[in-house]
Structures are given as structure tokens and as C-alpha cells.
Structure 1
Amino acid sequence: DVMGMRATRSDDTVLEGAFVPDKYIGRVVPAGAAGIDQFVLSIFAWALINFGNVYYGLASRVRDLTVESVKTKTSVAMSRPMAYHAEVQHGIAEMVMELEAIGPHLDTVARDWSDGVPHPDMPIKIVAAKHHAVEGAFRIVDRALDLSGGFGMFKKSELERLFRDCRAGRFHPANSALSHELIAKLTLGINPDETPRWG
């Protein structure tokens, strides 16, 4: 019973007393950032770039719904549809400009990762792309609700569901706090495993 992403779920499987013989252990890496090699990074790359694309797709759908809506939405104070209102046009432009930046960002990071482009800061690029997509989707969905008026709050509105689903992006790893911590520490040359973690 969650606010968003109601069609999905996560479950844990607990294996009590399970034994795995050494011959079936593929690899052992150190705990923490020290254990992040290309294999481990590839798992994060796959997950974070895909999370980013989920929210990019969601934001694209929100843009499409909003554009179609304002073309026919009217007000007693206007003689033409809301699409002719200057501030509605401003809002649509903001949504489109945000999307125009997110798509190429995700595409570039995904392509460079897939092509093996040797970026020494690839972990930064991966985390930043996911963060950019999720935060951009937030702004787009929030603007769409502003432009939709009260209709966007009704359960029968697809926009209402997309608003709820968008909120889950901030819970997917890496969340905003961890994204900022990792990007800053890696940029500043601080080992993420260094203790104490802060201060």
C-alpha cells in the first residue's frame, strides 16, 4: 500500500543456514568503495541509467498529456484555449527544455559506458545522469500539475498517477543525499570509505 509505483513490489528472500561451497563463489571483493571494480560498476551503471530512463519516459508522457490538455482546456476569462496563455506557454517551454537536456545526458552516458569510453570519472557520470533525470522529472511533473489546474488532482487523471509514481525516483539508489556525497567526494579526491564519513 504505497503512494506510487503500485504495480511493482520488492520482496526479500532469507536463506537461513544456506551454505555455498567455495567453488561456487565467483569473486570476493572488499567492502565499500574499495570493492567497486568494473564488474560491480557495471551493475550500478545498468541500474542507475535504467532508473533515469524510467523517469525520463514518465516525464515525456507528462509533457505529451499536458500539451494535449492545454490545447483544448478553456477558461471563462479567455476567448481561446489555455495554450494561448503566455504563462502556460512559458511552462510548456520549461518542460520541453528540461526534457531536451535529460535525454541526451542519459544517452551519452549509456553510449559511453556501452562503448567502453575510458572516462576516469565514469562513476560520477552514472550517478549524475540518474540524479539529473529524476530531479528533472520532478520539475516537469510539478509544472504539469500547475498547468493542468484542479483536474490533475483527480484519481481519474493519468497525471495524478504519474505525479505519484514520479515521487519514487528519489527513493531509487542513489538517492539525492548519497548522489551529492559520492559526486563531491570523488570530485574532491576524498575516498568514500574514509572514516569518519563526515566532519
Structure 2
Amino acid sequence: MVDNNTLNLGEFLDEVRAWVAGPGEEWAERIEDTGTVPDELVTELRERGWLSLAAPQELGGAGMSFSDYLQVLEAISKSHASIRMLVHVNNGTWRAMAPYASPELRDEVLIPAVKADKRVAFTLTEHDRGSGADIGTTVRREGDEYVMNGEKHLITFGVKADYLLITARLEGTSGKDGLVSFTMPNHLPGAEVIDDSETMGVRGTDHATLRFEETRFPARYRLGAEGQGLEIALGGFLTPSRVGVAMSCVGLAERAQELAIEYANERVTFGKPLAKRQAIQFMLSENYARLAAAKALVMQAARAYEVGAPDAGELSSAAKLTAVDMLTFVTDNALQVHGGRGYWKKNPIERVYRDARAQRFEEGTNEIQKQVISRGVLSGTVSTEGGQW
């Protein structure tokens, strides 16, 4: 386990990087071959403490600062996307639960989730609605129970999760004041869990469509008060998670750049290495510049979140928007450097290229990020100077 009181961050990062380059690649090959994440891998990550880095020590975590944790996530993101997903989600869901969980929920769900003894799936997205105040899944209160109806889709870990961190609407309400969040058990009577895990990339991570028909569960699973649902879902999880996804883009882009540099130095055409050709040099230099710029913005957004800056939400969206576009550019260049060879699955860049597409949809598309940013810009709540250093 990781103890932040005695941790040397540099040494720990070296340990993570060595694992990613060695055992991590062996796990990646196994995941790609089987299409599943082995339970032994989850156990290994749990025992190493990597699924409990960001939460405070009083909850069973390592107490690592958000900025330090992001450096670890950057290193892990060079590995298989499903490994990154395990680390990212398990180190994030506690943020939404901790300020609002009752003592009973703290013991049953929150602390076991921090320790990675239980898995919690963030459950917001719906098939025919956006990811905000227009949520259509409903609940109604009946005595000591709530009754849920509706559907959620694209739910990461929705098949195997023990609990759902879910937001729904009180029947008969509209707008954000009618939203309420829960950490309800998964696989309840009246709830249908549909495995929808066949994806372009991120092989091995399960995804689900969840359908609820008069699904009953105890009211004690509610987080906070009725009307706080959007606050819990967006501020508690999405803002820091968007920064985390942005940093995962940086890590994966760095891996693509490494592969491109290695190939450019090895591949010889017409008597000289690709690395000696100006067109390739320009691709790699553009990659470097965009990577450096994106990483700087990600760390700025991280600091804004850590100090509770008023523009932390807009900066998190700006970081994700910028990092996603950077990742697309870098991985496209990296694949182009490889030429036709990069199109074959035996080459690592092929997997990196497929996995890179997923971040365009995680925690909201680029279009959603632009909406978040524009609201702050047009209302005047965000400085035209682009945040504080």
C-alpha cells in the first residue's frame, strides 16, 4: 500500500513507469487477446495501492494531492486504456460521495470503494438526453423507499459494479432543483443490466445499458438532499474527472510520441532513417509543442480545482477540450510516421490509436465542454485572462 506521509514521489513515479513498461505491457497483451480485464490484475492494482491514491487517509486512501496524483495518472495512461480506466474511476468516485454520505453510507459504500473492495460506477448519461439538468430517469419517494424508472447508457463498469453513483429526477419536476443522487446497489429486482462492452478501443472495460422499471431501493442510499443531484454529479465528480481525463490524454499522447520517435529512428527508407527527413521532424516537433501546451493547461486546471477557484469548472472543460484535440493530432501523426505498418495490430501504435478515441466522449464531448466554457465567458464569471496562475 502507498503511504503519502513517507512517499517519495519521484521514486514512486519511477516504480509506476517501470511497471507500465514491463508487467503492464504483458497485462495489455492479455487484455487485448481475451477482451477482458482479469480479476488478478484488479487484485494486483488494489494490493499496490494504486486504486486508492487520491482519497484522504481517514477514508482509507493514501492522501495524495490532486496534482501529485495526476502525475501518477499520466504515467499509468501510457499503459492499456482499461488499466488507466480502473485507476482513474476508482480514484474519483469517492469525491462525489464523501461530502454527502451519511455515516451508514460511509461504512457500507464509501470506505469499501476507496479501498477498492467495492466498485462504484458513475451513472449519469442517458440515450436520448444530455448529461445535465435534462435527465429523464425518475424516482418517487414511497415511505422509506424510492422507486426508479428510466434508462442509462454508456455506463463504464456498469456490468460489474457493486453500486451505482446515479442521478435521477423527482417525478413531476423540471430543472436542476428536481435532481437527486444515490449510491444504490447494482443488479436490483426491476433493474436490467445489459452488457454493451464491444467497443472500438478500451477493450476489457465493461460498459452497460441500465433499465429501471419500478426498481425499489431504501431511501438511506440517497446522497445529500433532494435537489442536490446536479451539484453532486458535476462538482463532486465531473470537474476533477475532466481534469483527470485530460491528463490521461497527455499520458497516452506521450506514449504515441515515444513510439513514433522509436520507429522514426529505426525505419530506413531510400538509404536513410525516417528521423532524418524534414517532414517527419516537423510532425514530431508539432507533437511536442502541442503536448507541452496541453499539459501546462491541465496542471493549471488542477491547481484551480485544488484551491477552489471560481473558474475551476471552466478550466477543467478547457483542459479536456484542449487535451483531447491534442491527443487526436498527436496519435494521427504518430500513426502516419509508422506508415502502413502502424495499421496492423501487432504494432503498439494501432492499439494506442484506437484507445485515443475514447477520451473524446468521456465526461462529455467537446461540444459539451464548449457549452460549459461559454456560459462562464458570456456571463462574465470567467476572466478573459484565462484563469489564474
TM-score bin, normalised by smaller chain = 0.7 to 0.9
1:3 aligns with 2:195: no
1:99 aligns with 2:291: yes
Gaps of 5+ in 2: 1-197, 381-389
Give the counterpart of 2:218 among 13, 16, 20. 20
Give the counterpart of 2:231 among 9, 17, 36. 36
1:135 aligns with 2:322: no
C-alpha distance in 2, partners of 1:155/1:71? 21
SS in 1 for 2:216: coil
Query: Per-residue deviation at 1:185?
Result: 2.2
1:174 aligns with 2:364: yes
| 1:5-38 Cα distance to aligned partner (Å, 9 max, x none) | 11212235666532323x5534135378xx437x
**Conservation of the 8 A alpha-carbon contact between 2:331 and 2:356:** yes
1:16-165 correspondence to structure 2 within 5 Å: 16-21=214-219, 25-28=222-225, 30=227, 35-36=230-231, 40-76=234-270, 79-114=271-306, 116-117=307-308, 119-165=309-355
Q: Looking at both structures, which has the greater relative contact order when contacts are Cα pairs under 8 Å and sequence separation is at least 6?
A: 1
Alignment-derived partner of residue 189 in structure 1:
379
Q: Which has the higher strand share?
A: 2
C-alpha distance in 1, partners of 2:365/2:250? 16
C-alpha distance in 2, partners of 1:71/1:106? 30
| 1:119-172 Cα distance to aligned partner (Å, 9 max, x none) | 322211011111111110000001111211111101111111111111111111
**Conservation of the 8 A alpha-carbon contact between 2:240 and 2:305:** no
2:293 maps to amino acid: A
CA 1:29 to 1:177, structure 2 compared with 1: closer, same or farther past 3 Å? farther
CA 1:180 to 1:97, structure 2 compared with 1: closer, same or farther past 3 Å? same
SS in 2 for 1:36: helix
CA 1:155 to 1:75, structure 2 compared with 1: closer, same or farther past 3 Å? same
CA 1:110 to 1:36, structure 2 compared with 1: closer, same or farther past 3 Å? same
**Conservation of the 8 A alpha-carbon contact between 1:154 and 1:160:** yes
TM norm structure 2 = 0.44
Query: Per-residue deviation at 1:65?
Result: 0.5
Query: Per-residue deviation at 1:40?
Result: 4.2
**Conservation of the 8 A alpha-carbon contact between 2:243 and 2:319:** yes
Alignment-derived partner of residue 197 in structure 1:
none
C-alpha distance in 2, partners of 1:97/1:29? 46
**Conservation of the 8 A alpha-carbon contact between 2:240 and 2:316:** no
SS in 1 for 2:215: coil
**Conservation of the 8 A alpha-carbon contact between 1:55 and 1:134:** yes
Query: Per-residue deviation at 1:3?
Result: 0.9
C-alpha distance in 1, partners of 2:240/2:208? 20
1:4 maps to amino acid: G
**Conservation of the 8 A alpha-carbon contact between 1:127 and 1:174:** no
| 1:80-132 Cα distance to aligned partner (Å, 9 max, x none) | 21101011110110011111111121122112312x14x32221101111111
Using the TM superposition, name which of 48-57 and 88-97 deviates more.
48-57
Using the TM superposition, name which of 81-90 and 168-177 deviates more.
168-177
Query: Per-residue deviation at 1:54?
Result: 1.6
SS in 2 for 1:120: coil
SS in 1 for 2:321: helix
CA 1:10 to 1:134, structure 2 compared with 1: closer, same or farther past 3 Å? same
1:81 maps to amino acid: P
